[in-house]
């Protein structure tokens, strides 16, 4: 029987969680723990990373113990991605690389990768948090996990792998790519859980359909999807084609990797694990805090990371924070679906647009496949945006102009922009094996 909620008595948690006590800590207790851990993090950064100490001194701190409340966090300077690049490769680590257990890196589109390091303790914390996230999404010990996140320097593969292991789940470490084989192993091994980017999950579904395999007949029940923005429309599409429950999992390598936040069964925002991280949202232009519930750039401070503590890291991800209690009983903040990155935002004739908004309109439209790319071009002095969409195989080429007109109309009425839509034949939009490339910038590079 489902417990009814009443305003007077908070409902007993329906999903107590893997770390039940920690996941339901009253806010005051959580904040005490956060302050204590923040002070320790600051001391670690101050004493072991000259760069941090210099910047904290410049911000007016004379001693790392000079931080007495969580509100004092605002006195600390932000850290940005270029700070990691400028200190490449190990300049922000608190200890020599010989004392670390692992390195990961994210490949930048320009220049050097961003390198992140973990102590053995950091890896253990990470596994705990991914295990907690998987459990929060409904995964249970013994569930077979098909892990199609890329293994290697990307944090997705090994992060999900270790977390599943920590929960007591056997893992198929297939990594990304070789999509026909993925389909065969899903049918033969019977995993209950699929870990992949949402765009790659869709690519797996498509190949299965081309092979005449119905993944709805497989044992898959839960999809742990993240590493890129995706829409509710995409969630419905994947759920319909794979017959599973699609859950959003968030993270970034600079902070840890997957498992910084994850949806629970209520799926009304992703629980950001506040015993390990502090979450803020700021106005991306002014850096000022935005009121709770308003969209802003997510800023994260780590509270337990040893090798690479991060102070007020600007993620460039745009989201909203909700601190009201979730129906699941967890007290940790809810980070609403990340709609996109600040740097992915396009300004089309004065209107700010994220690719995921376009996706939300396109996916599920009759005759249109859920694959698309935005192409940026320069014509004369002006930037132009072309939207390439793909027709379903069942659509006759003579109907492409009608599809284009239909998409143009819906994008105009729902997002407010006039897009130039081009309909391509089935298969023409490149398929992802990891993070999908949604924007192709063909504009001449500034010299």
Q: Rule CB under 6 A: which residues touch ligand DLL?
A: 106, 149, 154-156, 226-229, 248-253, 257-258, 315, 317, 338, 341
Taking the complex as a whole, the smallest distance from the CB of residue 260 to ligand DLL amounts, in Å, to: 8
Taking the complex as a whole, the smallest distance from the CB of residue 77 to ligand DLL amounts, in Å, to: 20
Q: Of the two residues 129 and 348, which places its CB atom closer to ligand DLL in the complex?
A: 129
How far is the C-alpha of 283 from the C-alpha of 224, rounded, in Å?
A: 30
In 3D, which of 262, 145, 258 has the Cα closest to residue 193?
Answer: 145
Query: What angle, 0 to 180 degrees and rounded to 10, lies between the N-to-C axes of helices 50-58 and 27-48?
Result: 110
Print burial letters for 272-301: b (CB count within 10 Å at least 16), e (below 16). Answer: bbbbbbbbbbbebeeeeebeeeeebbbbbb
Q: Of the two residues 122 and 395, which places its CB atom closer to ligand DLL in the complex?
A: 122
How far is the C-alpha of 307 from the C-alpha of 124, rounded, in Å?
A: 13
CB atoms within 10 A of CB 212: 6
**Residue 73: what are its φ and ψ, rounded to 5°?**
-55, -35
Q: Of the two residues 42 and 169, which places its CB atom closer to ligand DLL in the complex?
A: 169
Taking the complex as a whole, the smallest distance from the CB of residue 282 to ligand DLL amounts, in Å, to: 15
Taking the complex as a whole, the smallest distance from the CB of residue 160 to ligand DLL amounts, in Å, to: 7
Taking the complex as a whole, the smallest distance from the CB of residue 344 to ligand DLL amounts, in Å, to: 8
Q: Of the two residues 42 and 148, which places its CB atom closer to ligand DLL in the complex?
A: 148
Taking the complex as a whole, the smallest distance from the CB of residue 338 to ligand DLL amounts, in Å, to: 4
Which two structure tokens, joined as six digits, stand for 294? 């308003």
Q: Of the two residues 64 and 150, which places its CB atom closer to ligand DLL in the complex?
A: 150
Taking the complex as a whole, the smallest distance from the CB of residue 347 to ligand DLL amounts, in Å, to: 19
Question: Residue 377 forms beta bridges with which residues?
Answer: 384
Question: Residue 383 forms beta bridges with which residues?
Answer: 378
Q: Of the two residues 280 and 421, which places its CB atom closer to ligand DLL in the complex?
A: 280
Q: Of the two residues 46 and 250, which places its CB atom closer to ligand DLL in the complex?
A: 250
Q: What is the DSSP string of 105-168?
A: EE--SSSSPEEEEE-HHHHHHHHHHHHHHHHHTT--TT--EEE-SPPSSSHHHHHHHHHHHHHT
Determine the residue with CB nearest ligand DLL.
226
**Residue 354: what are its φ and ψ, rounded to 5°?**
-100, 145
């Amino acid at each position: 029987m489902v417990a009814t909620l009443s305003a007077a008595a908070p409902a007993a948690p329906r999903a107590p969680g893997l770390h039940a006590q920690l996941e339901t800590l009253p806010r005051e207790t959580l904040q005490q723990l956060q302050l204590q851990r923040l002070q320790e993090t600051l001391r670690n950064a101050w004493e072991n990373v000259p760069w941090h100490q210099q910047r904290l001194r410049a911000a007016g701190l004379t001693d790392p113990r000079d931080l007495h409340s969580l509100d004092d966090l605002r006195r600390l300077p932000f850290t940005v991605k270029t700070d990691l690049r400028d200190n490449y490769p190990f300049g922000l680590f608190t200890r020599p690389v010989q004392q670390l257990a692992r390195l990961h890196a994210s490949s930048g589109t320009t220049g050097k990768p961003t390198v992140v390091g973990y102590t053995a303790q950091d890896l253990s914390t990470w596994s705990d948090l991914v295990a907690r996230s998987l459990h929060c999404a409904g995964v249970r010990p013994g569930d077979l996990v098909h892990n199609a996140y890329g293994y290697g320097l990307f944090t997705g593969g090994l992060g999900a792998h270790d977390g599943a292991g920590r929960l007591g789940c056997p893992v198929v470490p297939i990594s990304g790519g070789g999509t026909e084989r993925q389909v065969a192993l899903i049918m033969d091994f019977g995993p209950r859980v699929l870990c992949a980017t949402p765009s790659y999950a869709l690519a797996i579904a498509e190949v299965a359909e081309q092979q005449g395999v119905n993944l709805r007949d497989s044992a898959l029940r839960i999809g742990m999807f993240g590493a890129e923005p995706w829409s509710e429309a995409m969630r419905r599409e994947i759920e319909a084609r794979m017959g599973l429950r699609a859950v959003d999992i968030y993270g970034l390598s600079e902070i840890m990797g997957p498992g910084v936040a994850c949806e629970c069964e209520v799926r009304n925002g992703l629980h950001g694990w506040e015993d390990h991280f502090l979450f803020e949202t700021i106005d991306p232009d002014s850096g000022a805090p935005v009121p709770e519930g308003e969209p802003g750039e997510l800023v994260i401070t780590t509270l337990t990371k040893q090798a690479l503590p991060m102070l007020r890291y600007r993620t460039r991800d745009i989201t909203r924070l909700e601190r009201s209690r979730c129906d699941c009983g967890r007290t940790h903040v809810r980070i609403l679906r990340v709609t996109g990155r600040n740097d992915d935002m396009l300004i089309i004739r004065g209107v700010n647009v994220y690719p995921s908004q376009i996706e939300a309109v396109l996916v599920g439209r009759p005759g249109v496949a859920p694959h698309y790319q935005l192409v940026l071009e320069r014509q004369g002095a002006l930037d132009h945006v072309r939207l390439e969409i793909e027709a379903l195989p069942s659509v006759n080429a003579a109907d492409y102009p009608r599809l284009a007109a239909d998409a143009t109309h819906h994008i105009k009425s729902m997002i407010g922009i006039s897009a130039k839509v081009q309909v391509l034949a089935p298969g023409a939009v490149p398929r992802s094996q990891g993070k999908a490339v949604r924007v192709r910038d063909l504009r001449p590079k500034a010299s």
